[in-house]
Amino acid sequence: MIAIDRKVVVARHAVELVKVDSFNPLSVGNGEFAFTADVTGLQTFPEAYAEAVPLCTMSQWGWHSTPAGPDVKPESIRYSQVETYGRKVPYLLSAKGQEATFNWLRENPHRLHLGRIGFQLRSASGADATPGDLTQIDQSLDLWAGLLTSRFVFDGQPVTVQTCCGGGTDAVAVRVQSPLLADGRLAVLIAFPYGSPDPAAVDWNRPTAHHTVVRQSSEHRVDLGRQLDDTVYHVAVTWDTEAKFAEAGPHRYRLSAGDGKSELAATISFSAKPIEGAVLSFEKAKSASASMWANYWNSGAAIDLAGSTDPRANELERRIVTSQYLLKANCAGSLPPAETGLTCNSWYGKFHLEMHWWHGVHFALWNRLPLLERSLSYYQRILPEGRIIAERQGYRGVRWPKMVDAAGIDSPSPVGPLLLWQQPHPIYYAELCYRQNPTPAVLSQWQEIIEQTADFMASFAVRDAATGHYVLGPPMKAVQENNDTHTTINPTYELTYWRFGLKVAQQWRERMNLPRKADWDDVLTHLAPPPHKDGRYLYHDGLADTYTTWNWEHPAIVGAMGMLDGDGIDLSLMRASVQKVMEVWQWDRCWGWDFPMTAMAAARCGLPKLAIDALFVESKKNGYGVSGHVYQRPNLPLYLPANGGLLAAVAMMAGGWDGAPDRPAPGFPDKGWQVKAEGFRPLP
Q: In angstroms, what CA-CA distances link 224 with 166, 211, 229, 257, 348? A: 19, 10, 16, 20, 26
Calpha distance 114→386 (Å, rounded): 30
57 found inside a domain: yes
Q: What is the DSSP string of 181-211?
A: HHTTSEEEEEE-PBP-SSTT--BTT-GGGEE
Calpha distance 192→197 (Å, rounded): 16
Residue 249, sorted as left (phi over 0), alpha (psi -120 to 50) or beta, turns out to be left
Task: Indicate whether 342 and 245 sit together in one domain.
Answer: no
Which tens digits make up the pLDDT trace of 490-516? 999 999 999 999 999 999 999 999 999
Task: Indicate whether 282 and 411 sit together in one domain.
Answer: no
* Residue 111 · residue 338 · CB < 8 Å: yes
Task: Indicate whether 253 and 400 sit together in one domain.
Answer: no
Which tens digits make up the pLDDT trace of 181-232? 999 999 999 999 999 999 999 999 999 999 999 999 999 999 999 999 999 9
Calpha distance 652→616 (Å, rounded): 17
Task: Indicate whether 172 and 321 sit together in one domain.
Answer: no
Q: What is the mean pLDDT of residues 455-479?
A: 97
Calpha distance 387→398 (Å, rounded): 4
49 found inside a domain: yes
Where would I find the H helices in 13-152? 99-107
Task: Indicate whether 289 and 410 sit together in one domain.
Answer: no
Segment (H or E) for 613 = helix 608-615
Residue where a domain terminates, one of 270, 294, 318: 294
Residue where a domain terminates, one of 294, 313, 333: 294
Write down the pLDDT at residue 652: 98
Calpha distance 595→591 (Å, rounded): 8
Percent with pLDDT over 70 in the chain: 100
Calpha distance 106→404 (Å, rounded): 9
Write down the pLDDT at residue 169: 93
Calpha distance 491→483 (Å, rounded): 10
Hey, what amino acid is at 65? S
Task: Indicate whether 230 and 290 sit together in one domain.
Answer: yes
76 found inside a domain: no
Task: Indicate whether 213 and 346 sit together in one domain.
Answer: no
* Residue 128 · residue 8 · CB < 8 Å: no
Query: Is residue 317 over pLDDT 70?
Result: yes
Task: Indicate whether 290 and 215 sit together in one domain.
Answer: yes
Q: In angstroms, what CA-CA distances link 476 with 403, 461, 485, 505, 554? A: 16, 12, 5, 23, 16
74 found inside a domain: no
Task: Indicate whether 308 and 256 sit together in one domain.
Answer: no
52 found inside a domain: yes
Closest of 36, 10, 42, 40 to residue 23, by C-alpha: 36
Could you give the angle at the alpha carbon of 483 between the alpha carbons of 479 and 486, nearest 5°? 115
Which tens digits make up the pLDDT trace of 573-621? 999 999 999 999 999 999 999 999 999 999 999 999 999 999 999 999 9
Neighbours of 19 (CB within 10 A): 9
Where do the DSSP E strands lie in 398-545? Answer: 403-404, 462-463, 470-471, 532-533, 536-537
Q: Identify the bridge partners of residue 138 per DSSP, sorted by sequence position.
A: 151
CATH of the domain at 178: 2.70.98.50
Average pLDDT, the chain: 97
Write down the pLDDT at residue 383: 97
Task: Indicate whether 123 and 25 sit together in one domain.
Answer: yes
Calpha distance 145→289 (Å, rounded): 6
CA 506 to chain CA centroid, nearest Å: 31
220 by Cβ neighbours in 10 Å (0-12 / 13-18 / 19+) ranks as: middle
Write down the pLDDT at residue 167: 86
Which tens digits make up the pLDDT trace of 635-651? 999 999 999 999 999 99
Calpha distance 367→385 (Å, rounded): 31
Find all residues with CB under 8 Å of 370, minimum gap 6, and list them: 363
Q: What is the mean pLDDT of residues 97-115?
A: 97
Task: Indicate whether 503 and 468 sit together in one domain.
Answer: yes
532 found inside a domain: yes
Domain range for 485 is 303-678
Which tens digits make up the pLDDT trace of 252-265? 999 999 999 999 99
Neighbours of 540 (CB within 10 A): 29
Calpha distance 675→81 (Å, rounded): 54
Query: Is residue 1 over pLDDT 70?
Result: no
Write down the pLDDT at residue 166: 87
Q: What is the mean pLDDT of residues 47-72?
A: 96
Task: Indicate whether 259 and 382 sit together in one domain.
Answer: no
Buried b (16+ CB within 10 A) or exposed e, 269-306: bbbeeebeeebbbbebbbbbbbebbbebbeebbbbbbe
Q: In total, how many domains does the chain have?
A: 2
Q: What is the mean pLDDT of residues 381-391?
A: 97
CATH of the domain at 556: 1.50.10.10
Query: Is residue 2 over pLDDT 80?
Result: no
Residue where a domain terminates, one of 241, 262, 294: 294
DSSP 419: B
85 found inside a domain: no
412 by Cβ neighbours in 10 Å (0-12 / 13-18 / 19+) ranks as: buried
Calpha distance 117→63 (Å, rounded): 19
Q: What is the mean pLDDT of residues 403-416?
A: 96
Tell me the CA end-to-end span of the chain in Å, nearest whole number.
Answer: 25
102 found inside a domain: no
